[in-house]
Amino acid sequence: MRQHDTLFIGGDWVAPAGTGTIDVISPHTEEVVGRVPDGTPADMDRAVAAARQAFDHGPWPRMTMAERAAVVDRLAEIYAARQSEMAEIITLEMGCPITFSRMAQAPQPLGMLQYYAELGRTFPVEEERAGTFGPVTVRKEPVGVVAAVVPWNVPQFVIMIKLAPALVAGCTVVVKPAPETPLDAYLLADMVKEAGIPDGVVNIVAAGREAGEHLVSHPDVDKVAFTGSTAAGRRIAAICGEQLKRCTLELGGKSAAIILDDCDLSSAMGFLSIASLMNSGQACIAQTRILASRNRYDEVVDAVAGMVRGMPVGDPSDPATGIGPMVAKRQQDRVRDYIRIGIDEGAKPVVGGLDRPHDRGWYVAPTVFAGATNEMRIAREEIFGPVLAVIPYEDEADAVRIANDNDYGLAGTVWTADAERGMDIARRVRTGTYGVNLLMIEPSSPFGGFKSSGLGRELGPEGLSAYLEYKSIARLG
């Protein structure tokens, strides 16, 4: 069992203020596999104080961006050497299939470190503009102390989507991992220390909701970067609005995959299986609404059903596993409740249903619903599990209308033999990330959502700018 008795604050391992602990339970075995301290508001106060001291008086914000980028590059080298270990820890703590952990959970955070290290070497911090009475210098400065509050589903990805640009920008950070997945953050803390990042620049305190809200509300926090549910995002936005505190919110999704009639279904299913069921469906960008024309509806249902049947459900440490368990018992119950809701609404499960695939572990049967409509709850609400609804459309305009008829706007895809036709549809669907015949989150490109899917953007130069304040300095002559 992986056991930790301390918190990472001020560049050192320190004793927690309280005596509470968080048990990390394997979703596969339902056994305790780790234990860490449960951070308290007092621990958050100490972490914020360390970050504040490091920002106000430490060397990090006063280094050049290129100097900080060199340190982040050193962190990337250390991360690269330990990414296999990181993948195994994430699979252990949250049940992600090991193939996905090795393909994305560990490599993508490494890619973000490498991207921002490279960007920081050349990113313009100052520029000269013409003014009325003389030149104006436009300068970019770090926003300050950042609270990074992250979920359990892709823990390192979401930490790094915030931490990498914040570090390059010159900010200091308090990371609050989710209580379900604190173990990977301890490995990251070891890497931060080894990389020589100055004391207090990165602080990590795993905790529950009460301590998390205390962190978000702390007057010495200048910016909140949050990924999680839309309900929690609204609460954080209210707190930040009251305090006039900057925030970036990446929230829920209910993305639509539009299958056009010219799509080669046999080749598309390989990519769609990742786009719709990555991380056992526990992904905000998952393509869980499959839109098929009435002309090919039955054919698409059969293809999607065959795709799901070809993904074995079982031990997440087995490379052959396609679908692992849900992260927690409450998540298993939630997904099964939605399957029951879909049946009650009149949709037909052509694969899966309410039967449990295994007696032990928080598993659900991956389920494909036919006969679904976009008005059903299974088509409108984020389930966060391996549940797909195949919805018919009349023509392309109707497909775009259905794709847009949702409170969310995070991601989407179109599947077609005609790339230009796909680009035309991509321009008409109101989402922040879109793919033609694939779904990718690129470090170089902004990621975020429209509508209830969030505020602001992460990744790309836009993600770095989110951690910078702009200052104009005018001078005479």
- Choosing from 247, 284, 382, 396, the catalytic residue is 284
Cα end-to-end distance, the chain, whole Å: 67
Q: For residues 223 and 157, what is the distance between their CA atoms, to the nearest angstrom?
A: 19
Q: For residues 276 and 157, what is the distance between their CA atoms, to the nearest angstrom?
A: 18
Task: Look up 263 and say whether it is catalytic.
Answer: no
Task: Residue 152: name the closest of 380, 289, 312, 331 by CA.
Answer: 331
- Choosing from 93, 180, 213, 250, the catalytic residue is 250
DSSP-derived letter for residue 269 is: H
Do residues 47 and 203 touch, judged by C-beta distance below 8 A? Answer: yes
Task: Look up 284 and say whether it is catalytic.
Answer: yes
Query: Three-class SS of residue 160?
Result: helix
Give exposure, 55-69, as e/b (b: 16+ Cβ within 10 Å): beebebbeeebeebb
Query: Three-class SS of residue 14?
Result: strand
Residue 90, CA distances (Å) to 178, 401, 456 in order: 12, 38, 27
Q: For residues 355 and 364, what is the distance between their CA atoms, to the nearest angstrom?
A: 8
Which two three-digit tokens encode residue 309? Answer: 């049947």
Q: For residues 368 and 287, what is the distance between their CA atoms, to the nearest angstrom?
A: 12
Q: Which amino acid is at 93?
A: E
Q: Which amino acid is at 77?
A: E
Q: Would you put residue 467 in left (φ > 0), alpha (ψ -120 to 50) or beta?
A: alpha
Q: For residues 118 and 410, what is the distance between their CA atoms, to the nearest angstrom?
A: 27
Catalytic residues: 250, 284
